[in-house]
A and B are shown apart, each in its own frame.
Chain A
Amino acid sequence: MLGFIRTVGWRMVSIVYELGGIAVFGSQMVYQTVSPPWRLRRVIDEVYNTGVLSLAIVLLSGTVVGGALGLQGYITLERFGAESSLGGLVSLSLVREFGPVLTALLVAGRAGSAIAAEIGAMVATEQLDGLRMMSVDPIDYVGQPKALALTFSMPLLSALFIVFGLGGGYLVGVGLLGIDGGAYITGVERNITFSDEVVGSILKSVVFGALVALISTWRGFSSAPNAAGVSRATTGAVVQASVATLMFDYVITALWGG
């Protein structure tokens, strides 16, 4: 019993220690972001690495998820004779929930893992110490451009996910199941308002982008300087970023008004 309490207690202390580390790291990251030098060139390079290279998986997933929503929605709405509402159902699901959340999960797996692995490898090969010896802050030079680029890319990727998802829903609903195309588009238009759905969706994806970026870079910087450390940092980044995304999704959705 004593052993169990000790284990749980030690685990709690570790979690608090980890959260404290992330908080300090996050504040350093924010400080570096708002203070010069602004590394625009490096941020643009990282937008390519994190955003452009994630495009294929995001667009493909968006189309497939939209198609699945169209199919599932049709089966459900048909029971009530409300198939013409499919556009509204698909668009609301995508804009309010699936777009930001699934994009964040995909980006955590694709770009977040890559960021943690790259920074972890830099720790293992003393490249970050090399930067420090050149009086260059590694958080400023390596971490901040990656985090900024990921936070910037996330809403754009999420928007594309939604657009391709709506397309997937249209293909299945209109193309395969025979719903009227005009009714589908009208359903989208009627249910999506800029001030509520679109702004909320953008806000969600920006928060998720910052979360994934912060956790991925933190796991990289705090990784042990060996191959096992890089491996742990990579898997830890994906798992923690995914769980944090889902938890924050609930909180934001609750605050947003369901």
Chain B
Amino acid sequence: MAQSAAEARIEGQAHVDVISLRLAFGDRRVFDGLSCRFAQAKISVILGASGVGKSTLLKLIAGLQQPDYGDIWIGQQEITRMPERQLRHLRRNLGMMFQGGALLDSLTVFDNVALALREHTELSEAEIAEKVHAQFEAVGLKKVDALLPGEISGGMKKRVALARAMIMDPEILLIDEPFSGLDPLAVRLIEALLVEVNRTKGLTMILTNHHIGSTMRLADEIVFLVDGAAVAGSVKDIKESIDPRIQRFLTAAGTGPSLEDAS
């Protein structure tokens, strides 16, 4: 499987390839042969209704979960059967911003962002401080060093989480629901921030989102998850899709799946 999948990949085009993924939680099948690819240096948005497996797909790409079947390629490396020690090495090129921030409660905001630098580099404390403050500036944060995660707002947490995800200059940034729980102004600020980071650093960004508006503004490509599989295309492709499942989601955005759909 891995060999044929490798042969099937087109070199240099996709940064992340997901091939024939299957995953079930008990009797509930989440992915049933899902295949999709995420292009290098583009913003790809994984779109879909709540509970369709957007965050799970992101965790699979990060190697935080293993699928029942299928391959995930990051660059030239297949990661689904990779031991944790090798994954730890691979993740130095991956940054992830979690939906709730996932900041360590016991550490200050500064220490949260500095942690990876202290663990994996030989930088002095002064150099670390310089890098962390540069990152804070990039995400629009000021005077937050000594604050604990419990003392800052949800929007600020997302920015700190973004700063932490980018501090090691990763090649791929995985972002889980960056706009959930934010007011419209904060949504626009984070959107602008993500676009700027993508354009200036050339990062491959993979976001999950269920907000149509922000997806249409941000995305270079959209991967629409439905019925355990993926429908991918540009924003225009998805908007003009005649697939009734996509149209139903786009026109009824925000209402979520019915009980019938969920069953």
Q: How far is the CA of A131 from the CA of B89 in the complex (A)?
A: 13
Of A85-93, A122-130, A156-164, A172-180, the one contacting chain B is A122-130
Q: Point out the residue from B64, B103, B104 that lies within 8 Å of A133, measured CB to CB.
A: B64
Q: Mark B33-62, 1 if CB is under 8 A from A, else 0.
A: 000000000000000000000000001001
B100 to A126, Cβ gap below 8 A? yes
A244 an interface residue at 8 Å Cβ cutoff? no
Which A residues are in CB contact (< 8 Å) with B119?
A: 134-136
CB of A114, distance to nearest CB on chain B (Å):
13
A129 to B64, Cβ gap below 8 A? yes
Chain A interface SS verdict (over half): helix
Q: Point out the residue from B89, B91, B103, B104 that lies within 8 Å of A132, measured CB to CB.
A: B91
CB of B79, distance to nearest CB on chain A (Å):
13
B91 to A127, Cβ gap below 8 A? no
Q: How far is the CA of A135 from the CA of B116 in the complex (A)?
A: 8
Q: Specify the chain B residue showing the minimal Cβ separation from A132.
A: B64
Q: Please judge, given known A-B contacts A129-B98, A130-B98, whether A135 and B103 are in contact too, CB under 8 Å.
A: no
Q: How many residues of B contact A (CB 8 A)?
A: 25
CB of B248, distance to nearest CB on chain A (Å):
31
Interface residues on A, range: 10 to 19
B94 to A133, Cβ gap below 8 A? yes
Q: Point out the residue from B64, B89, B115 that lies within 8 Å of A134, measured CB to CB.
A: B115
Q: Specify the chain B residue showing the minimal Cβ separation from A128.
A: B102
Sample of 19 more A-B contacts, CB < 8 Å, known A122-B105, A129-B98, A130-B102: A122-B104, A125-B100, A126-B99, A126-B102, A127-B103, A129-B64, A130-B103, A130-B104, A133-B62, A133-B91, A133-B95, A133-B96, A133-B165, A134-B119, A135-B89, A135-B120, A136-B116, A137-B84, A137-B88
Chain B residues close to A by CB (< 8 Å): 59, 62, 64, 84, 88-89, 91-92, 94-96, 98-100, 102-105, 115-116, 119-120, 164-165, 168
Chain A residues close to B by CB (< 8 Å): 121-122, 125-127, 129-137
